[in-house]
Structure 1
Amino acid sequence: MTEPRILTERRGHVLLIGFNRPDKRNAADFELLSQLALAYGELERDPELRAGLVYAVGDHFTAGLDLADIGPRIGADGIDYVTEGGINPWQVTGEQLSKPVVVAVQGICLTLGIELMLASEVAVAAESTRFAQIEVTRGILPFGGATLRFPRAVGWGNAMRWILTGDWFDAAEGHRIGLVQEIVPDGQQFDRALAIAERIAAQAPLAVQATLANAKRAIRDGDAAAESELQPALSRLAATEDARIGMESFLQRTEAEFVGR
């Protein structure tokens, strides 16, 4: 039996999602993409899971697409690797993920790896990580969201500097422009990302999801659309058991243990 391309493990309320093709520098073939989409579907459906952590086995996060495998599969409508039960991890088509994702990167992080960071909420990088959005050097364009999210995340000029040249940049530059939220010594990226994911998962899950949904609504549909949902969302959350638990913990000065109801 072949090794799974994507490893999944539950760590409390966090779903660990690991790229597992280290002999190919975690280049994404069709099978890896399909398994990754299924892992995201599992994260979305299970009410006990409150956050995801994406990481990679081996020295590198990902070398990008395995074009030898993916290239022949690209048809007139592009490529569809999301099977029943899956969610597009880059969230550029179909169902949107309602739960936050933290990403830990190391080694080389190319193309779809950068786009996965941009589609997630927090990115932690090992200090020697090197990045590149190299699609234009291969005669294609970024199709996992970089054209949408990179300029929004780091500013127009910073994004165009890297996605129009295909040049490499380091973790310090990634942090400077806002692609990376934290840089840690090599080998510590997983533990730091897990700590952040667990911190998120310790908060009231309905409140986290509502906060994330409203922020995404503002980006997709504009401030007015998001503003119109603030008070209704507040009213719904105030009636939850978690709101009661949060208030009691505040008054009693104890750590809240939320139940997701």
Structure 2
Amino acid sequence: MDAPTPPAEGCIVTERRGELLLIGINRPAKRNGFTPPMFRQLADAYTLLDDDPQLRVGVLHAFGAHFTAGLDLPSIAELMRKGEKAFPYGVVEPTDLGTPGYRRRTKPLVAAVKGITFTLGIELMLAADIVVAADDCRFSQLEVQRGIMATGGATLRMSQRAGLGNAMLHLLTADEFDSAEALRLNFVQKVVPAGQELDEALRIAEAIARQAPLAVVATRLNAIKAVEQGPHAAVQEFIATQQRLSSSEDAAEGVRSFIEKRPARFQGR
């Protein structure tokens, strides 16, 4: 996929492919380092994914050789000192942390990462639901090397996925690790030859998009609740959620397609 020429501060490029929304990070001349306008546009893209009923799955990817080197610190430092975000209240927060004033994403997101995937890059992929990594990835959570702390979710999600000791190994040393280590730690779900990561992410996203949208969202949110609030909180939703889903048109279509031995045609209602 050819990258449109971005402005100097970079941009986020969205492309609709049927029920998928491709969300491309576009500042390859600066290793896709994130500036405030890029943050705002990324939040807008995630909000579009959630709000448009025609869209079912997002695919986060990057133009150029690298996913992202992380924050463009000179352009973002003043916001950090003020404790402000680069996007306004009311939009979907790309790191999906549940920060007061921001929305959480409900629809699934698949990320395709490659090359340099530092700091924010790791946090964006950990906030996605499924990650496909190229075998040339270089990962580093190096905030401590810059005198700051990772606040996009790494301190939470690394230990959730890999255990506290493994998280501390990478958070506190600012070391660089590869795709095989990321797979071992459950930071990514698949590793493919470089150049194939976006195709594989699209294949997975298309498979998700063929499923019943209401059931996909409900399943995703329940699994996240189990991780964040514990199994008991997730179990409390089982009966009410199943009642709601089983009364939907999609559930009726699922039964019909089973009886008629054909692929289901789900409408998201």
Tell me the TM-score normalized by structure 1: 0.96
Which residue pairs with 1:193 in the alignment?
201
Find runs of 4+ consecutive structure 1 residues off by over 3 angstroms. Answer: 1-4
Conserved 8 A contact 1:53-1:101: yes
The one-character-per-residue Cα deviations of 1:170-226 (angstroms, maximum 9, x if unpaired) are 001111111111011110100000110111111000000000111122222222111
Conserved 8 A contact 1:38-1:85: no
Q: How does 1:7-156 map to 2 (within 5 A)?
A: 7-76=13-82, 78-83=83-88, 86-92=91-97, 93=99, 94-156=102-164
Unaligned runs of 5+ in 2: none
Which residue pairs with 1:248 in the alignment?
256
Identity within the alignment, %: 50
Partner Cα distance (2:238, 2:71) in 1: 39
Partner Cα distance (1:214, 1:2) in 2: 38
Structure 2 residue identity aligned to 1:23: A
Change (3 A) 1:2 1:63: closer
Partner Cα distance (2:108, 2:38) in 1: 21
Aligned length: 260
Deviation at 1:233, TM superposition (A): 0.2
Conserved 8 A contact 1:5-1:35: yes
Deviation at 1:11, TM superposition (A): 0.7
Partner Cα distance (1:82, 1:30) in 2: 8
Deviation at 1:159, TM superposition (A): 1.2
* SS in structure 2 of the partner of residue 88 of structure 1: coil
Deviation at 1:84, TM superposition (A): 5.7
Partner Cα distance (2:152, 2:59) in 1: 19
* SS in structure 2 of the partner of residue 258 of structure 1: coil
Deviation at 1:83, TM superposition (A): 2.5
Please report the RMSD computed on the Cα atoms of aligned residues, expressed in angstroms: 1.3
Partner Cα distance (1:126, 1:80) in 2: 30
Unaligned runs of 5+ in 1: none
